Structure 1
Amino acid sequence: MEAKSTSKDDYDQVKKDLQQLREDMATLTKTVSESQKGNISSLRDEIRRESRQVLDQAVNKGSEALNQARSVGDKAVHDVEHKVEERPFLSILLMFLAGVLVGKLLDR
């Protein structure tokens, strides 16, 4: 009889061990899942932060380029105005010739 009770005790112990193993696996899975959610959340926040920084840098560089282009354009307009004021007859003659040239190109 003693052999039966020993094997029954061993069987019960194996069942308990398997149940404990299941519980441990469930706890481990839950812990890993929560950890990964935390990692994903922190990665998402980091990506958002870096995206904002890149967008801000792009906006700043775009604004700088626009300001520089405006400055160069204003200078060019001022230079042309100055040249027209210095030599109005020559400017009128050049505009007339440019108009004739454009007219001939459009006739074709």
Structure 2
Amino acid sequence: MEAKSTQDDYDQVKRDLQALREDMAKLTNSFSESQKSNISSLRDEIRRESREAFDQVRKKGDAALHRAKDAGDKAVEDVEHRIEERPFLSIIIMFLAGILVGKMLDR
């Protein structure tokens, strides 16, 4: 009777170990799936934040470019206006600037 009891205990331990292996496999798979989901959501969040940051930088860059273009257009208009006001003086100044640049390049 004792041998049968020992055999039954041995079989029970084998079943318990098999059940433990299966539970560990399920737990490992569950943890793995959970981590994959976390990584996926983190990747999506990083992409979203990257796009938002890129859009903000692009908007700021576009605004700066627009301001620079406006300032350049205003400067050209100012120069044109001054040339229209005093065309003879403008021609003399440009002639002298040309002579000065020519002298500098001769050296």
TM-score, normalised via structure 2 length: 0.93
Give the C-alpha shift of residue 23 in structure 1: 0.2
Superposition deviation, residue 100 in structure 1: 1.1
Corresponding residue for 1:61? 60
Identity of aligned residues (%): 68
Which residue of structure 1 aligns with residue 70 of structure 2?
A: 71
**1:48-91 Cα distance to aligned partner (Å, 9 max, x none):** 11111111111111110111001100110011111111111111
Q: How far does residue 3 in structure 1 lie from its aligned partner after superposition? A: 2.5
Cα distance in 1 for partners of 2:92, 2:24 equals 92
Q: What 5-or-longer segments of structure 2 have no aligned partner?
A: none
The 5-angstrom pairing of residues 11-30 of structure 1 reads: 11-30=10-29
Whole-angstrom CA distance in 1 between matches of 2:99 and 2:5: 116
CA RMSD of superposed structures (Å):
1.0
Q: Which runs of 5+ in 1 are unaligned?
A: none
Tell me the equivalent position of 2:34: 35
Equivalent-residue separation in structure 1 for 2:52 and 2:84 (angstroms): 48
Structure-1-length-normalised TM-score: 0.93
Q: Partner letter of residue 34 of structure 2?
A: S
* Distance (whole Å) between structure 1 residues aligned to residue 27 and residue 36 of structure 2: 14
Give the 3-state SS of the residue equivalent to 2:77 in structure 1: helix
Count of residues in correspondence between the two structures: 107
